[in-house]
């Protein structure tokens, strides 16, 4: 029975008994306790807790889940998976234990012709919580399961919770006896490999708090109602009903392994070491595609880091199988094809998914190439010194200099039989973070702490900001700082920080860049290129004394660069409009996550759980924003209380910075936000807003970049000129360009394919000459050469096999080396007569691979690998010749 059919039967069974079908929730839900949805009940938590009324008394779903706690065990065993599908039925104060047991028993034991799974009732065992006599009795009465096949277990095994605060309760697990060939007699308490758990029925009636252990956590009370939450593992049922030994051999997962076999030339089941790699690829490919499908992108923290780790483990496992070319796109295609019947969105969104995996693989291959060399040297040095622990300093260098993730270093070290000094690594990481924080602070405070400014604040109070209404104003110099120290004066050529009692200069804040301008005294000019607020309430003007000497207590005229300020203000107002447009198009989930307001341009970051903004939606947002400009709306600013701002519905992105009094920037019913920045008086002053791009910058966060005013007009003019030039070159009207360019691209691709085919045909045509040129080495016909240019990958394997075939019945070894930049790929093939003399292709590779800085492996008749030293090919050929001569 195919996996999709197993899921369909589950859904049909429960919808037929009055359950409402609920679609799988996204793997990413607004739950701070979870990185990913890890159980079918997660989307129903509010109903179980009584926080919201359930819209139906009973429901059923097939929920996609990800659990990454045992990621290191994936592949090493056949029991651990990161992605899986959990089929569940749920009751919200409706039926309880009796109903749950009846529903489950009927589905698993009914014949396949009646819509069930047809499992043998005599091979089913169950477990119950140690004091749950009611559940044990129901299993006997409803299912007729004898007492000896009902086992009692403690809290660690038969009391369910998510491991965090939330609903919980005793549970009853259903197991299937796979037979004596899989382990010992005695039920699941003796052997959970033979007795496979397929379904967990949770009698959810309690609420737990955070903390505690798996078998001892705090229970804080009863839930508002007794509920049912069950979870059947679709993949586990699949390998029972498909007659295979584990999930990796089922219909939806095995095809990924098959693709890996095709790419690597190795066979699943031939060695445990390779099998681990095949399983890692199969599991992580599914998880990665499903996670990306729900909007996560690779990053260095949170969900994005988990995704990055999964994808990079695939790439590395593929490399260890001898595959040198990119693989993630190929594996993603297999996952799409197999999973699409249940998740059609994988097809419609595959272009984005494919782009994400390909970009991540490209980045990681660069990291892997550089980092692996350094790692190999570190391992060799450690072994030469007789050590068994890789130094924490070396692990840190790999991380800091080469971007090598520490978990990858730990994994590779373990494979090399070494440990890593993690304590030293952690200490160095802490030092780095401390330095980073200090550097960030230094950029804002002049490489010293705030102590130099606090006396100024104590003596003169806060700086009065006049910039909302004035762009030039008189003030007094109350402090000067040079190289981190307070000074009485600063002379021409010195870089100086000037503190005034009052200023029209805007200090960088809220995404808005600082004002530039000049300070003039009776005898000095100071050019200002930055304004910061290193101590709350104080504005520090940074610049260079261009003429004369400026001193404390000097009277000064502060003049803001008017054109720069106006351009930044236009960008800031445009950011508010873009924010409103994005929320209008995408909903309230699209909340601001950062911004930059610079002269003539803006950058707006926002959360987007649904992923990329469609091009059509982005165009609508741009059109709507420009419509608001044409309306020439008044941009009103005013201060009010926080309570009044809330009543007005103002967006409170930075409310915590303003205390009880807040500043509102109001554009009527379209945009109303709390903001301390500067803005135009009317929207018409913006001229035009031109959206340039929209892209991901991290897990669930998107970025829109746009130009404003004259900068936008220049961009439009440039694009128009470019379009005209392309039209002239292609002799086509602008509206004909997409079709004309598509045709040209297709012609180019066809030509490239033809050229590649001609190269391959020419190379393969050289097989006869290569075979005729075989040299005799100790009675072995040896063909060991650098392959003709353009031959690599599958063509290299095909050429090696062709040459081997031309050697006939002679004992023969063929070794072909292909180079591409700084990479080497090689294939070794042996004839049957050579194998009869004990010459296995895979065992010959260690004799020459070090010469090209590589490794590889494979079967006795055909093996392959790669390296990083093309210059070593002649030495590799010589090493192979010597190995054959030595017998």
Cβ proximity of 678 and 467 under 8 Å: yes
Distance, CA of 862 to CA of 270 (rounded, Å): 14
CB atoms within 10 A of CB 536: 9
Half-sphere exposure of 474 (CA within 13 A, CB side): 4
Strand order in the sheet with 636-641: 636-641, 661-666, 672-674
Q: How many residues does the chain have?
A: 887
H or E segment and range at residue 708: strand 701-708
Half-sphere exposure of 43 (CA within 13 A, CB side): 21
What is residue 695's predicted lDDT score, i.e. its pLDDT? Answer: 87
Question: Which residues are documented as binding site for Zn(2+)?
Answer: 572, 576, 675, 679
Cβ proximity of 332 and 351 under 8 Å: no
Q: Against a cut of 0.95, is the pTM above it?
A: no
CB atoms within 10 A of CB 743: 11
Q: Please, which residues bridge with residue 547 across strands?
A: 525
Tell me the pairing of strands 689-698 and 701-708. Answer: antiparallel
What is residue 699's predicted lDDT score, i.e. its pLDDT? Answer: 52
What is residue 441's predicted lDDT score, i.e. its pLDDT? Answer: 46
DSSP label at 249? G
Three-class SS of residue 496? strand
Per residue in 548-558, pLDDT (tens digit) is 999 999 999 99
What is residue 697's predicted lDDT score, i.e. its pLDDT? Answer: 79
Residue for token digits 């009485």?
A: 488
Which candidate, 351, 363, 398, places its Cα nearest to that of 379?
398
Low-confidence residues of the chain: pLDDT under 70:
30-32, 51-52, 401-403, 405, 433, 435-451, 588-589, 609-610, 652-660, 698-700, 759-765, 789-793
385 Cβ partners below 8 Å, 6+ apart?
Answer: none
Distance, CA of 234 to CA of 107 (rounded, Å): 13
Per residue in 143-199, pLDDT (tens digit) is 999 999 999 999 999 999 877 778 899 999 999 999 999 999 999 999 998 999 999
Q: Please, which residues bridge with residue 549 across strands?
A: 491
481 Cβ partners below 8 Å, 6+ apart?
Answer: 446, 452, 453, 487, 496, 497, 499, 540
What is residue 123's predicted lDDT score, i.e. its pLDDT? Answer: 97
Distance, CA of 200 to CA of 228 (rounded, Å): 11
The phi and psi torsions of 439 (rounded to 5 degrees) equal -65, -45
Distance, CA of 69 to CA of 82 (rounded, Å): 8
What is residue 449's predicted lDDT score, i.e. its pLDDT? Answer: 47
CA-atom Rg of the chain in angstroms: 34
Cβ proximity of 839 and 813 under 8 Å: yes
Cβ proximity of 689 and 706 under 8 Å: yes
Q: What's the CA dihedral at 651, 657, 661, 664 to 10 degrees? A: -30
DSSP label at 236? H
Which candidate, 24, 30, 37, places its Cα nearest to that of 700?
30
What is residue 223's predicted lDDT score, i.e. its pLDDT? Answer: 85
H or E segment and range at residue 185: none
Distance, CA of 17 to CA of 472 (rounded, Å): 76
Three-class SS of residue 775? strand
**How does DSSP assign 43-94, residue by residue?**
GGHHHHHTSS--SSSEEEEEEEEE--TTGGGBTTBSS--SEEEEEEEEEESS
Tokens of 336: 């799409």
What is residue 657's predicted lDDT score, i.e. its pLDDT? Answer: 38
Per residue in 784-798, pLDDT (tens digit) is 998 876 666 677 888
What is residue 445's predicted lDDT score, i.e. its pLDDT? Answer: 40
Compute the C-alpha angle 386/390/393, nearest 5°. 125
Helix, strand, coil percentages, rounded to 5, for the chain: 45, 25, 30
Half-sphere exposure of 632 (CA within 13 A, CB side): 2
What is residue 429's predicted lDDT score, i.e. its pLDDT? Answer: 79
What is residue 209's predicted lDDT score, i.e. its pLDDT? Answer: 86
Q: What's the first-to-final CA gap in the chain, in angstroms?
A: 53
Question: Which residues are documented as binding site?
Answer: 572, 576, 675, 679
Which candidate, 859, 782, 864, places its Cα nearest to that of 817?
864
Which candidate, 630, 631, 510, 637, places its Cα nearest to that of 568?
510
Which candidate, 378, 324, 380, places its Cα nearest to that of 822?
324
Per residue in 442-453, pLDDT (tens digit) is 434 433 445 688
Half-sphere exposure of 348 (CA within 13 A, CB side): 8
């Amino acid at each position: 029975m195919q996996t999709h059919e197993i899921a369909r039967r589950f859904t049909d069974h429960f919808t037929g008994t009055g359950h409402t079908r609920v679609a799988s929730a996204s793997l990413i839900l607004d739950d701070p306790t979870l990185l990913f949805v890890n159980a079918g009940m997660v989307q129903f938590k509010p109903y179980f807790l009584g926080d919201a009324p359930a819209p139906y008394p009973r429901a059923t779903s097939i929920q996609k889940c990800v659990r990454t706690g045992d990621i290191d065990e994936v592949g090493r065993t056949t029991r651990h998976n990161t992605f899986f599908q959990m089929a569940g039925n749920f009751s919200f104060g409706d039926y309880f234990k009796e109903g749950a047991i009846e529903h489950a028993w009927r589905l698993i034991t009914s014949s396949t012709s009646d819509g069930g799974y047809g499992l043998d009732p005599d091979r089913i065992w169950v477990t119950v919580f140690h004091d749950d006599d009611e559940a044990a009795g129901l299993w006997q009465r409803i299912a007729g399961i004898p007492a000896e096949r009902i086992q009692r277990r403690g809290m660690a095994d038969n009391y369910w919770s998510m491991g965090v605060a939330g609903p919980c309760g005793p549970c009853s697990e259903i197991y299937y006896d796979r037979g004596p060939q899989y382990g010992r007699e005695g039920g699941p308490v003796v052997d959970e490999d033979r007795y496979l758990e397929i379904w967990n029925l949770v009698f959810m009636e309690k609420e737990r708090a955070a903390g505690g252990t798996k078998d001892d956590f705090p229970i804080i009370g009863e839930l508002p109602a007794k509920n049912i939450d069950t979870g059947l593992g679709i993949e586990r049922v699949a390998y029972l009903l498909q007659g295979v030994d584990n999930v990796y051999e089922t219909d939806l997962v095995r095809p990924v392994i098959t693709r890996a076999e095709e790419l690597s030339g190795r066979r699943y089941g031939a060695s445990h070491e390779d099998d681990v790699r095949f399983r890692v690829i199969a599991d992580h490919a599914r998880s990665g595609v499903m996670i990306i499908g729900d909007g996560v992108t690779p990053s260095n923290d949170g969900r994005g880091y988990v995704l990055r780790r999964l994808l990079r483990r695939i790439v590395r496992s593929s490399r260890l199988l001898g595959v040198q070319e990119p693989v993630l796109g190929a594996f993603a295609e297999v996952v799409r094809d197999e999973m699409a019947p249940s998740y059609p969105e994988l097809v419609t969104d595959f272009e984005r998914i494919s782009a994400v995996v390909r970009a991540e693989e490209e980045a990681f291959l660069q990291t892997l190439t550089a980092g692996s060399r350094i790692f190999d040297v570190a391992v060799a040095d450690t072994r030469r010194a007789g050590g068994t622990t890789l130094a924490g300093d070396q692990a840190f260098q790999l991380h800091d200099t080469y971007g090598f993730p520490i978990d990858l270093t730990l994994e590779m070290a373990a494979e090399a039989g070494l440990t890593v000094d993690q304590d030293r690594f952690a200490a160095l990481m802490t030092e780095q973070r401390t330095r980073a924080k200090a550097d960030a602070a230094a950029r804002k405070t002049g490489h010293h702490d705030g102590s130099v400014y606090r006396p100024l604040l104590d003596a003169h109070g806060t700086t009065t900001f006049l910039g909302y209404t004035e762009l030039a104003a008189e003030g007094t110099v109350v402090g000067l700082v040079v190289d981190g120290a307070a000074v009485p004066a600063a002379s021409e050529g010195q870089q100086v920080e000037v503190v005034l009692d009052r200023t029209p200069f805007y200090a960088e804040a809220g995404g808005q860049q600082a004002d530039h301008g000049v300070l003039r005294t009776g005898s000095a000019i100071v050019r200002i290129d930055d304004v910061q607020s290193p101590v709350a309430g104080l504005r520090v003007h940074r610049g260079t004394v261009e003429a004369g000497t400026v001193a404390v207590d000097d009277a000064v005229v502060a003049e803001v660069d008017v054109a720069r300020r106006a351009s930044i203000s236009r960008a800031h107002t445009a950011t508010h409009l873009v924010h409103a447009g994005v929320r209008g198009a995408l909903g309230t989930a699209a909340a601001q996550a950062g911004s930059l307001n610079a002269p003539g341009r803006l950058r707006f970051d926002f959360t987007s759980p649904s992923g990329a903004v469609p091009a059509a939606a982005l165009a609508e947002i741009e059109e709507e924003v420009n419509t608001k400009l044409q309306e020439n709306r008044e941009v009103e600013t005013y201060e009010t209380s926080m309570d009044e701002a809330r009543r007005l519905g103002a967006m409170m992105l930075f409310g915590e910075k303003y205390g009880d009094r807040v500043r509102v920037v109001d554009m009527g019913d379209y945009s109303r936000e709390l903001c301390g920045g500067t803005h135009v008086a009317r929207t018409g002053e913006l001229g035009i807003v031109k959206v340039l791009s929209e892209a991901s910058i991290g897990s669930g966060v998107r970025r829109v970049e746009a130009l404003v005013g004259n900068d936008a007009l220049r961009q439009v003019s440039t694009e128009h000129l470019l379009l005209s030039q392309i039209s002239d070159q292609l002799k086509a009207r602008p509206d004909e360009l997409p079709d004309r360019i598509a045709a040209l691209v297709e012609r180019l691709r066809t030509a490239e394919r033809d050229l590649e085919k001609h190269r391959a045909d020419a190379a393969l045509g050289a097989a006869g000459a290569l075979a005729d040129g075989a040299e005799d080495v100790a009675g072995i016909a040896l063909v060991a050469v650098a392959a003709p240019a353009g031959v690599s990958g599958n063509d290299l394997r095909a050429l090696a096999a062709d040459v081997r075939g031309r050697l006939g019945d002679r004992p023969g070894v063929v070794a072909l080396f292909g180079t591409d930049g700084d990479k080497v790929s090689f294939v070794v093939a042996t004839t049957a007569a050579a194998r009869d003399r004990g010459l296995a292709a895979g065992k010959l590779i260690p004799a020459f691979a070090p010469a090209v800085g590589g490794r590889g492996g494979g079967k006795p008749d055909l093996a392959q690998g790669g390296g990083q030293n093309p210059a070593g090919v002649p030495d590799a050929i010589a090493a192979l010749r010597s190995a054959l001569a030595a017998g």
